[in-house]
Amino acid sequence: MSELRDVKISGSGTIAGGEYNIVKISGSGKIDGDVRCKIIGISGSASIDGYIYTDELKISGSCKIIGDTKCEIGKVSGSATIEGNMSGKEIRISGGTKIAGSMNFNTIQISGSLTAGGDVEGENVIINGACKVDGLINGENIDIKLDGKSWSKELGGEKITISRGETYSLLKIFSKALRRGSFVCESIEGNEIDIEYTESSVVRGKNINIGAGCKIAKVEYYDTLDIHEDAEVGEKIKL
C-alpha cells in the first residue's frame, strides 16, 4: 500500500477531496469534497466543500467548512465558519468562530467570540470574550469571562464561574468606556456556582454565590447561598 501524499496550494487553486498526509493551503484555496489527513494547515482564505477528519487542524485567516469537522487537536485564529459540527480532544479558538451545529471536545478554550447553533460540551470549557449559544453549554468546569453580551439556552456543570473579564485595553477604556459584559440564559445548574452580571430564570446548585449585577428569578440551593447586595433575587428555596 502506497504512502499518503502531501498536497499544497499556494496562491489560488483547487484540490479534490480524498485521503492525504499533510494538506497546506496558503493564499486562496478550495478543497472540493471530503478530506482525511494527518495535518491540515490553512492560512489566508480557504473553503472546504465537505467534512474534515484530521489529527491536527490549524486555521489562520478566513475559512469556511461545509461539513462536520473532527480533529484531535485544533487551533483556529481569525475567522472560521463551520456549517456542521465540531468534535475532538482539544480546540483553541481566537477571533470569531461560527458553528451551525454543536461543539464537543475534552477541552474548549475560546478567546474572542463564539456563535453556535447547537450545544457546546467539554470537560473544561473556558470562554474569554462573548458567546451566543442556542443550545446548552455543559462541562465539568465552566469558566466564562465576559466581554460583551453573551447568552445560552441552558448552562450545566460541576463548577460554574461567570465573571467580567479584566483584560480591557487602554483603547477599550477610552474609546468605549469599558464595554461591559453580561450573560443571559434560561437556567443554570451545577454543584459549585459563582456568577456575576448574569440574568437567569432559575439557578440550582449545592453552593451558590450570586454576585454583583445578577438578576435571578428563582434560586434553589442545597447547602449554602450568598447574595451580593447589588444582586436582584426573587424566590429562594433550600432543597
The CA radius of gyration of the chain, in Å to the nearest whole number, is: 20
Q: How confident is the model at residue 134 (pLDDT cuts 50, 70, 90)?
A: very high
- Which residues, including other chains, have CB under 8 Å from residue 176's CB and lie 6 or more apart? none
How many residues are recorded in the chain?
239
**In the predicted model, is pLDDT for residue 177 greater than 50?**
no
Q: How confident is the model at residue 27 (pLDDT cuts 50, 70, 90)?
A: confident
When mean pLDDT is compared over 30-34, 94-98, 169-173, 179-183, the highest value belongs to: 30-34
Q: How confident is the model at residue 166 (pLDDT cuts 50, 70, 90)?
A: low
The pTM score is 0.90
Q: Answer for the pair 58, 72: CB distance below 8 angstroms, yes or no.
A: no
Q: Which three cell numbers stand for residue 132?
A: 451566543
Distance of alpha carbon 104 from alpha carbon 65, whole angstroms: 17
Instruction: Concatenate the DSSP letters of all residues of 51-82 into one string.
Output: -EEEEEEEE-SEEEESS-EEEEEEEE-SEEEE
**In the predicted model, is pLDDT for residue 179 greater than 70?**
no
CB atoms within 10 A of CB 175: 9
Give the percent of the chain with pLDDT over 90.
Answer: 82
Burial degree of 105 (CB within 10 A; 0-12, 13-18, 19+): buried
**In the predicted model, is pLDDT for residue 175 greater than 90?**
no
CB atoms within 10 A of CB 234: 10
Extract the runs of DSSP E, i.e. beta strands, from the chain.
7-19, 22-48, 52-59, 62-65, 69-76, 79-82, 86-99, 103-116, 120-146, 149-164, 182-195, 198-210, 215-227, 232-238
Distance of alpha carbon 59 from alpha carbon 216, whole angstroms: 39
Q: How confident is the model at residue 178 (pLDDT cuts 50, 70, 90)?
A: very low
pLDDT tens by residue, 186-239: 999 999 999 999 999 999 999 999 999 999 999 999 999 999 999 999 999 999
Q: Is the dihedral of CA 111, 48, 29, 88 positive or negative?
A: positive
Chain-centroid distance of CA 157 in Å reads 15
Q: What pLDDT is attached to residue 2? A: 57
Q: What pLDDT is attached to residue 61? A: 83
Rounded to a whole number, what is the distance in angstroms from the first to the last CA of the chain? 63
Q: What pLDDT is attached to residue 120? A: 98
